Amino acid sequence: MKAKYCKHILEFKKPSGTSRGVLKTKETWFIVINDGARQGIGECGILRTLSVDDRPDYEDMLKWVCNNIHLGTTKLWHELKEFPSIQFGVEMAFKSLESDTPFLLFPSLFTQGKEAITINGLIWMGEREFMKEQIINKLDQGFDCIKMKIGAIDFAAELELLSYIRSQFDADTIELRVDANGAFTPESALDKLKSLSAFNLHSIEQPIRQGQHHEMARLCSETPLPIALDEELIGVFDVAHKKQLLKTIQPQYIILKPSLIGGFRGTRQWIEVAESLGIQWWITSALESNVGLNAIVQFTYTLQNSMPQGLGTGGLYTNNIDSPLKVQQGTLLYEQGKEWSTNFLN
């Protein structure tokens, strides 16, 4: 058994705004395992400045993994505790290696093209007119759940955009989620949550910066609007610490990004802890290429969570990997008869 890795730079069709700045490119890494005639492919979807494993020794660790691929997925997963994106890539590559085809990781009615996954439509930060244009496009595309990133433009303008959506569609027609990416201060957050609650929102993700556990716990206990933890989960490795975090903060929801929290195994750990505490959850991709997105989507389907998932980021790039994944009428489908491209491995 041999392994190698390669780097791939994904290029955004349009610069995409977040509370941390504007993204034009996204770096990702692929691990490829060869065992005789069989091949396994995994994606290590690192997000610079956000992933806990954004470290100078990241590529050194990829080399170490390839040199020690004989250890197998379970042993490597434990050795890679501080590198959750590589944990995910290794899990994916071994799951791919076991499959009859490299991209069929979790065979199901979804991969047979018989069922779809409901997803939210993502609205990126930007100038008011750009955000309004995105909202109109998502509604025209048949989405009935929209997630809007907030915190980068004037708050009053963001409230105006939400008011526009609600003037056209009530909460029974369109579910609205917002993601602050930690943009609010602890002092201003509750007042802003009260203002946002006027629009019958489903939830707000990460209203304040992660790491302020007691402030977040206070918000979750006093909020008029359900709060979902996102970045808060990054860098929490041990199950005991996961339990302690959720018991302390007691959020209404958690959002799980396998690339940032240790892949399939790490995601299952968070789900088990959350469900034991009565906390609901959904899964979101983290700007992976279609290779990583495919693994997350197939895994997500097996969990049978009926809430809209955050899995619609595959169309963001000019040089993504051609795949059978297709967004249609607010759902994600696996299009039968369409082949995967493997040119990215050359």
The answer to whether domain 2-98 and domain 117-345 are alike in fold is: no
Tell me the pLDDT tens digit for each residue of 302-333: 999 999 999 976 788 999 999 999 999 999 99
Contact (Cβ atoms closer than 8 angstroms) between residue 85 and residue 259: yes
Which tens digit of pLDDT belongs to each residue from 98-116? 998 999 999 999 999 999 9
Percent of the chain with pLDDT over 90: 77
**Topology adopted by domain 117-345:** TIM Barrel (3.20.20)
- Give the pLDDT score at 164: 86
Q: Which residue type does 144 have?
A: D
Asked whether the whole model's pTM tops 0.85, one would answer yes
Q: Which member of 149, 243, 247, 338 is catalytic?
A: 149
Task: Give bridge partners of residue 125 from the DSSP assignment.
Answer: 17
> Is 3.30.390.10 the CATH number for 2-98?
yes
Catalytic residue (choose from 26, 95, 192, 257): 257
Q: What integer pLDDT is reported at residue 177 of this predicted model?
A: 96
272-289 pLDDT, tens digit each: 999 999 999 999 999 999
**pLDDT number for residue 109:** 98
Tens of pLDDT along 236-272?
999 999 999 999 999 999 999 999 999 999 999 999 9
Q: Mind listing the pLDDT tens digit for each residue in 13-55?
A: 887 766 556 788 999 999 999 999 999 999 999 988 889 999 9
Q: Alpha-carbon distance 257 to 77, whole Å? A: 16
Domains of the chain by residue range: 2-98, 117-345
Q: What is the pLDDT of residue 283?
A: 98
Q: Using only the alpha carbons of the chain, give its radius of gyration.
A: 20
Does residue 326 have an active-site annotation?
no
Q: Is the Cβ–Cβ distance between 255 and 285 less than 8 Å? A: no
Helices in the chain by DSSP H: which ranges?
A: 58-67, 73-79, 84-98, 128-140, 155-168, 186-196, 213-222, 239-249, 258-261, 263-276, 290-303
